[in-house]
Structure 1
């Protein structure tokens, strides 16, 4: 399926202001705000966190499938899709990122 189709199948992010990714020491390594241009990535990462409890290699592989056509574009253009690049890095490194959801106020 295409990315847009995959997004329609995932839970709503209306209640999320941002998603924060934390390393094993609890330091924030990235955040994805709920704003135009980031909402698709936020939707994917939030769904992965809900299903897996964190973002590890297994979650990252699922995420690459969900990003669909954007995954190949990210392979061909490193740096263009940092949230997809991060998934590639997690698979390669075997690291895990904890997730903290910041609710809408």
Structure 2
């Protein structure tokens, strides 16, 4: 399925202003906001966090499937899709990211 189709199957995120990704010591390493160009990634990361409790290797693998055709583009063009690149880089438990939801 295409990313647009996968996105329709995810829970809505209208109640969120953003989410923050944190490293093992709680430092914020990234922020995904509910705005054009990021709302899809917000939905993906929020759904993964709800299901997996964090963005760990299992969540990352699932996220790459959700991103569908954009994953192939990210692999071909590193840096073009930073939210996908982040998932590609999570392969070990020590790389897991915590998630803080910021309500609207």
Structure 2 residue 61 is the aligned partner of structure 1 residue 61: yes
For 2:42, the equivalent position in structure 1 comes to 42
RMSD over aligned CA atoms reads 0.7
CA shift, 1:62, in A, is 0.1
Name the TM-score, length of structure 2 as normaliser: 0.97
Q: How many angstroms does 1:74 deviate by?
A: 0.1
Please list every run of 5 or more consecutive structure 2 residues that lacks an aligned counterpart in the other structure: none
- 1:25-65 CA distances to partner (integer Å, 9 max, x unpaired)? 00000000000000011110000000001000000000000
How many residues get paired? 103
After the TM superposition, list the runs of 4 or more consecutive aligned residues in structure 1 that deviate by more than 6 angstroms: none
Gaps of 5+ in 1: none
- TM-score after normalising by structure 1: 0.96
CA distance in 1, matches of 2:6, 2:76: 21
